[in-house]
A and B are shown apart, each in its own frame.
Chain A
Amino acid sequence: MNKRLPIGLGFILLVIPCSLLAAFTHYPAVKALVNSMWNNASSFRPSKFVGFENYEAMLADDRLSQVLLNSTLYAIGTVPLAIGLSIGMALLVNSKLPGTWLMRLSFFMPTMLPLVAVANIWLFFYAPGIGLASQILSSFGLPSINFLGRTDTSLVSMMVVAIWKEAGLFMIFYLAALQGIPANLKDAARLEGAGSVRVFIDVVMPLLRPTTIFVAVNALINAFRLVDHIIVMTRGGPNNSSALLLYYIYEVTFAHRDFAYGATLTVLMVVILGLLAALQFWVLNRKAHYQ
C-alpha cells in the first residue's frame, strides 16, 4: 500500500506541473466554449453575449461544409491507404530478400523529415513544367498537370504527401508486431498445408489487429492535427478545395482575425476528436468481448 501524499510535497509534485498542463489544455478548451457564445470586440464596442449566434453562423457556413467534406475525404483517403501500404512495406522489409536495408531507409526517410521540409520537396515535385511529376508525364507524351492549382487534384495531391510522410512510421510499428509473432504458429499452419497467402490472412492478420487499432487511431488524429503541408503548399486553395478543418481555424482566426468564430470552430474540433475517441473506446471494448 502506498503512503498518503503529504500536502506540501503534493503541491510541488502535482499542483505546479498539472496547472501548467491545464492552463494550455483544459483551460483553452473550456474558454473556447465560453468565447464561442460571445461576439468579437471592436474598438468602439466591447464583446457581448450572443448565445448560439456563432453556432447558427456555423451551420449556415458553406465554406465550412466544404472544409468538413474535405477533412472527411482526407481522413478516409489517407488512413486506410497508409495502413495498407505500411503493412506491405513491413512484410517486404521483414522478408529475407536482398536489399532490405535500402528499402527500410527509403520507406523511413520521409518520416524523419519535418512536414514543412516534406511540403517543400513535394511542392518542387508537383511544380508544373519543372517538377518531376510534369517531366514524367511529358516523357509519356502527356500534357503537364498543375496538380496543386486545380480544384479536382489539389486535395488528392495533399493526401499523397500525407501518406508518403506517414506510412514509414507505421511500418515500424508493424515491423515490431511481425517480429513478435512466434515462428511456430506459422510453421504449424504450413504443416497443415496452408500457402503463404493463407498463413498471412489466417495467422498473421489477426495477430496484427492491436497494432492496426493503435495505428488507425494515431493516423486519424494526425489527419485532423497536421496541416503544415496545406499552409506551405496550397493555403487551402484553389477555391477551398484543399482546406482542412484545422487550416480553416487558422485562416479564420489569424488571417480574418475572427477570434469568436475561431473559438466556435475549435469547439467543433474538440467535439469531433472526442467522438473519435469514443469510437475508439467502443471498438476496443468490442474487441475485448470477442476474446
Chain B
Amino acid sequence: MTDTYHLKDIERRLGEEVDTAELGVQLSEHGRRIYVHGAVASEGTRRSILRRVEELCPGREVVDELTCAEETLSDPPRSSEVLR
C-alpha cells in the first residue's frame, strides 16, 4: 500500500472507530512528518486521534494541527450582524 492509500485508510478508520468517530480529519505527509488536520469535538478525542495515528504510522513524527470545538463550546455570542 502506498503512503497515500495508507493515510486515506487511516482517515477512514478515524471516522469509523468508536474511540475517535471523527469524520472530518485529514492526514497529509510532508518531509516524513504526518500532519493531522480538522476539527474535533473534545480534547479527549484529539488525544485519541493523535494516539491512533501514531500507532498506525510507527516511526513517523505526528504533527497536531487539529482544532477543538470544546475550546469554544461555552463561549457566549460576541459579535453582531444586521442583514437587510
The answer to whether A and B belong to the same complex is no
Residues of B in contact with A (beta carbons under 8 Å apart)? none
